[in-house]
Amino acid sequence: MAARTLNNVDLETLVSLSKRRGFIFQSSEIYGGLGSVWDYGPVGVELKRNVKDLWWKAMVRDRDDIVGIDGAILMHPDVWVASGHVESFTDPLVECGNCNHRYREDKLEDDSCPNCGEKAFGPARQFNLMFETHAGAVQTEENVVYLRPETAQAMFVNFDNVQTTTRKKIPFGIAQQGKSFRNEITPGNFFFRTREFEQMEMEFFCEPGTDDDWFRFWIDFSLNWYKGLGLRADKVRERSLGNDERPHYAKASTDVEFMFPWGWDELETISNRTDHDLNAHAAKSGKKLEYFDQEKNEHYVPYVVEPAMGADRSSLAFLADAYDEEGEGKEQRVVLRFHPDVAPFQVAVLPLSRNEKLVPKAREVYDIVRPLFNTQYDDAQSIGRRYRRQDEIGTPLCVTVDFETVESDDAVTIRNRDSMEQVRVPVSGLVAAISDQVAQMRKDAVG
Ligand code: GAP
C-alpha cells in the first residue's frame, strides 16, 4: 500500500463523498439548509455510534473508577450563573461597516474584512454563545433557560448524588455523552464547528495535589485512545494552551490536535478545572459539595481533571484519516481504511446477482453473520459497483455468494478491503474466518 500523505484529502472531496454515500447531509436541505447544522445519514450514524460506544466502553465499562450519567439538556439557570457561563462564555464579535458580515475578532488574520476587503470593522462586543429559550407558556425574564453549552455541569451538580449512591472513593470520575449547543459566530469546516453538537466528557475528581499527575494521565489516555483506534500517530499531537487561550475555569489545558484537511486543529481539550466548579455551585446553591476522606478523617473539595471530546469532531477526524485513493484509470478506487471497530459496517453480504437461487442463500448467510458483526446486505447493481460502494464506506470485509455456493461447495468468498485478496471459505467456517480477518485488521490499523 502506498504511503498516504499527512493531509490526504481536501474538504470538498470529503463533503461530496459524505453526501454521496450517506454519511452526512445538511440539515433541512430541501429548505436550503440551516447554517452549520448537519444530519447523519444511514452510514454516518453507524460511524458516530461506534465512536460513542468505543469511548463509553473505554471510559466507563472497562474501568472501576468511572461511572456514567445522562443529564438533561435543560438545567436550572443558576447553574450557568455559578459556572461563569452567563458572565464569561463569550466571544468578541465585530461587524464590517461596509458589508455587515460578522466575525470573531480573535479569528481574523488582520483588520480587513474577509468578505469585502474593506477595513471598516466597528468596535468588538462580547457575544454570549448560549442559546436561550423559555420554560413554560409565558415568555418572561424569570423563566429563561439555556440549552447547555457543555455537558460538564450536570456532573458537577450531581457530584453528591453520584458519590453517595455509588460510595465511590476519590479518585473517581463521572462520564456523560450528549448534545450541547453554542451559537458560534463563525462555525464551519464541514461539521468541525457547528451550533448543535455532541460531547463526550468525563470529570475526574481527585485529591488536591494529585491533580497535575492526573492531568498528564488523562492526556496520555486520550492520545492512546485515538491512536489505538487507528488515527495515524503522525496526525495526532498535544499542544499546551497559553494563558490567553485557556477557558476561564482552567488552571491548565492541553488540546489534542489532529491534522485536519485544513491543518492542525483542536480535537479535544483536557483541562485541570481545580475546585472551581464545585466551589462555585456550593456558594450559589448553599449546598456543600465536599468529599469526606474516612482514612484521613477530613473533608475537602476535590479537584477536577476533565477530558472533553466531541463525538462529531472525532467522527470527522476518523473519516478524514481513513480516506485513501489508489490505482489509476479504471482500476482507481476510493477506499476508507477505518479501523474495523470504527467502520460503519464490518461486513457486507452480497449475492453475485439478484438471481432467485442466490438471494435466499445470501439471506441465510446474512442471518449467520448479522448477530455477531454489524452487517449490511446489498444486492442492488453489479458486483463491481457494490465492492466500490463498500470500499467507499470503509467496510472491511465483503462476503459474496455465487452459483458455486448453491450448486456445489456451500462456500463463500471473503474479499478484504485493504489487500483486495479473496479467499474461499465454507459457510460453516465463515464466522471464524471473519473473526480472524477482523482481528488481523485491528492489528494492522495501529501498526
Ligand atoms: N467542558 C469543557 C468544554 O466544553 P471545549 O473545549 O469547549 O470544552 C470540548 O469543548 C470539545 O467539544 C471540543 O474539543 C470539541 O471536540 C467539541 N466542541 C466544542 N465546541 C464545538 C462545536 N461548536 N462544534 C463541534 N464540536 C465542538
Mean pLDDT over 177-184 rounds to: 97
Q: Which residue has the cell 457575544?
A: 127
pLDDT bucket at 6, cuts 50 / 70 / 90: low
Task: Decide: 194 in ligand 1 pocket, CB within 6 A.
Answer: yes
| Domains along the chain with CATH numbers | 11-76+146-319 (3.30.930.10), 345-445 (3.40.50.800)
Q: How far is CA 102 from CA 95, 129, 195, in A?
A: 4, 14, 16
The pLDDT score that the predictor gives to residue 1 is: 43
How many C-beta atoms surround the C-beta of residue 233 within 10 A? 10
Mutate to test the pocket of ligand 1, among 185, 222, 269, 312 (most ligand atoms within 8 A of CB): 269
Task: Decide: 199 in ligand 1 pocket, CB within 6 A.
Answer: yes
Task: Please answer whether residues 66 and 155 qualify as being in contact, where contact means their C-beta atoms are separated by less than 8 angstroms.
Answer: no
Cα of 336 vs centre of ligand 1, distance in Å, is 26
184-242 pLDDT, tens digit each = 988 789 999 999 999 999 999 999 999 999 999 999 999 999 999 999 999 999 999 99
Cβ partners under 8 Å of residue 263, min gap 6 = 7
Cα of 402 vs centre of ligand 1, distance in Å, is 48
Cα of 297 vs centre of ligand 1, distance in Å, is 38
Radius of gyration of the chain (CA): 25
Distance CA 290, CA 336 (A): 48
Cα of 198 vs centre of ligand 1, distance in Å, is 8
Amino acid at 364: E
The pLDDT score that the predictor gives to residue 2 is: 45
* Count of alpha carbons within 13 angstroms of residue 290, beta-carbon side: 11
The residues facing 255 across adjacent strands are: 239, 269
Task: Please answer whether residues 150 and 180 qualify as being in contact, where contact means their C-beta atoms are separated by less than 8 angstroms.
Answer: yes
Nearest to 266 by CA among 301, 295, 234, 308: 308
Task: Please answer whether residues 175 and 212 qualify as being in contact, where contact means their C-beta atoms are separated by less than 8 angstroms.
Answer: no
| All three cell numbers of 62 | 472497562
97-153 pLDDT, tens digit each = 999 999 999 888 899 999 999 999 999 999 999 999 999 988 888 899 999 999 999
Task: Please answer whether residues 195 and 33 qualify as being in contact, where contact means their C-beta atoms are separated by less than 8 angstroms.
Answer: no
The pLDDT score that the predictor gives to residue 58 is: 98
Cα of 430 vs centre of ligand 1, distance in Å, is 42
233-280 pLDDT, tens digit each = 999 999 999 998 998 889 999 999 999 999 999 999 999 999 999 999
Q: Which atom of ligand 1 lies closest to the CA of 266? A: 14
| All three cell numbers of 428 | 460453516
Mean pLDDT over 72-85 rounds to: 96
Nearest to 257 by CA among 223, 220, 308: 223
Nearest to 231 by CA among 239, 240, 243, 222: 222
Residue 428 per-residue DSSP state: G
Omega before 171 cis (within 30°)? yes
Angle at the Cα of 250 from the Cα atoms of 244 and 252, rounded to 5 degrees:
75
CA torsion 183-188-192-197 (nearest 10°) is 30
| Percentage of the chain exceeding pLDDT 70 | 98
Task: Decide: 152 in ligand 1 pocket, CB within 6 A.
Answer: yes
Angle at the Cα of 301 from the Cα atoms of 222 and 294, rounded to 5 degrees:
100
How many C-beta atoms surround the C-beta of residue 245 within 10 A? 13
Distance CA 345, CA 325 (A): 20
Residue 121 per-residue DSSP state: B
Task: Decide: 201 in ligand 1 pocket, CB within 6 A.
Answer: yes
Nearest to 247 by CA among 71, 91, 125: 91
Q: Which atom of ligand 1 lies closest to the CA of 184? A: 23
The pLDDT score that the predictor gives to residue 3 is: 53
Nearest CA owner, ligand 1 atom 19: 310
15-42 pLDDT, tens digit each = 999 999 999 999 999 999 998 899 999 9
Task: Decide: 182 in ligand 1 pocket, CB within 6 A.
Answer: yes
The pLDDT score that the predictor gives to residue 305 is: 98
Distance CA 159, CA 132 (A): 26
Cα of 102 vs centre of ligand 1, distance in Å, is 21
Per-residue pLDDT at 5 exceeds 70:
no
Task: Decide: 313 in ligand 1 pocket, CB within 6 A.
Answer: yes
Q: How far is CA 433 from CA 340, 397, 399, 429, 430, in A?
A: 15, 11, 11, 6, 5
Task: Please answer whether residues 402 and 414 qualify as being in contact, where contact means their C-beta atoms are separated by less than 8 angstroms.
Answer: no
The pLDDT score that the predictor gives to residue 35 is: 87
Cα of 446 vs centre of ligand 1, distance in Å, is 26
